[in-house]
Structure 1
Amino acid sequence: MKTIKTVKEMKEIVDSYKASFNKTIGLVPTMGYLHDGHLSLIKRAREENHIVIVSVFVNPTQFGVNEDYEIYPKDIKRDKELAEAAGADYMFHPTVEEMYPTGHKTYVEVLDITDKLCGASRPGHFKGVTTIVNKLFQIVEPNRAYFGLKDAQQVAVVQQMVRDLFLNTEIVPCPIVREPDGLAMSSRNILLSPEDRQAALILSKGLMEAKKIVDCGEKNVFTIKEKIIKIISQEPTVNIDYIEMLQFPTLEAVSIIGGKVLIAIAAKVGNVRLIDNIIMEE
């Protein structure tokens, strides 16, 4: 696996594959500190493409004031070893200055569906996400790009951007990967204290209980939400940001569970903000 630092070199490599070999390219965009969730994306990309490119870039424009940009976990040596073992051919690891050169004035923004869930809690977050993802798509020109459904809203937003801008990239949503005890894998989990790590399990527990009562016939969104709140409230160090049920991927509000519905949670566990969800489909 070769590590590429500049846009120019990455584009030259992509152009050579497109022109000379007609190879399909799979892109796995990440912010690094790779875990098994990321590796599952890389492995799937390996199965479905000739060339696999993993990007590692902690994108400053998707972090708000007083968020965890400065302390976001990083270990590029470990990331390189894991990505190569999972089947990546290239790692694109640019600097902030490379991706946002002096004089940068252009952003890409998806409206409406970014006004809820994490978009409501983190103003400007998805403007940063869609801008950097669009940049990566312009550089790598992937046939397919792989995103984990742990951030289901991000998947919906990127899919909307691709449709609206007529981009030639297929978005491949991939299942959430969980720890054996149920905690959704996240690079931020490393920031949890042992006590908070234990408390964080209440998020997946709340979602699983919601799934149980829906499977048993409960369809009322208010009732389901109250059940989740009651469960999560058992952990005093967990502060709920939101619990929402929305049609997926349109993210339209629902009052009764039906069709494909996202049940999404965001909460602060200690000082660490975590998200989790399940998608119910009938």
Structure 2
Amino acid sequence: MRVATVDRLVTLFYDGSKELYNEELANEWWEGYNTHNGNIDDWKEWNLSDECKAYWRERQTWKQIIVVEGVTVIPQLTFHHCKSIKRVIMADTVVRIEPCAFGKCSSLVFIKLSIYLEYIGVLAFKECDLFSVFIPPRCREIGAVAFYSNKNLTIFNVPRDTEIRGSVIFGTKLLHDSHFELNERGSYHDHTEEVHNWLKNMNNDNKYSLHRACSSFQPLKEVLLTIVRAKGIGAFTVKNEADITPSKYLRENPYADIEEMDIVRDYVMKMMGEYN
């Protein structure tokens, strides 16, 4: 475990060698939080032990987490309430993210998940600030309310075979802007299966083939070019039911090593007869 500055962000290289969540110190901090009616900004004035203050202070310095090769599990509550974390990048050895692992990381806007990830636990990314989430094809299960109250979440791409538990996208922009009639709590508990099927199939229509290619877990330039050559570059303006264009997916997909202008350039060259 080491800390360094990367891209001007204080970065923790997490190797799993140390238990980062201390339940006793966390409980002490929460007691102070409740005693002072949840005014977090004044925590330095709370009646906390020096050990607890040092523990909390350290957790607030991390702005980027890089999970290194060899780590297979992110334990429960590991980064819970580390409210300064902006980015998380995982090695492809990670197969499980346990409950609440990144819960209440309120500044978290970017995650790159392991391509071999199989499980995301309950409340794993509760109350973060994610805009887009691309679930890897091997993921078997996403726990209940795993992405609860990511208010700006607009893109949520999930494989057909992934089992989605209750209210996974409750409290998100995607759900709020959908065609579903929500209950009095703004949730979709009354028609969970219908919402989950919508999430998995919103791109099922053939006319959105380019859109599906862009929103895949790892879109391939060759596939995109094949579709664009058949439909024209205007296909990039076609929106899906969530009102998202293929271009927007390409910009937001952390796995897409493709620039839209590369596709446009190749398409134009094809039209000009530069290559066959």
Q: Same fold (TM over 0.5)?
A: no
| TM-score category (smaller protein) | under 0.3
Which is helix-richer, 1 or 2? 1
User: When the two structures are superposed, what TM-score results if normalisation uses the length of structure 2?
Assistant: 0.25
Q: TM-score, normalised by structure 1?
A: 0.25
Question: Of Structure 1 and Structure 2, which has the larger fraction of its residues in strand?
Answer: 1
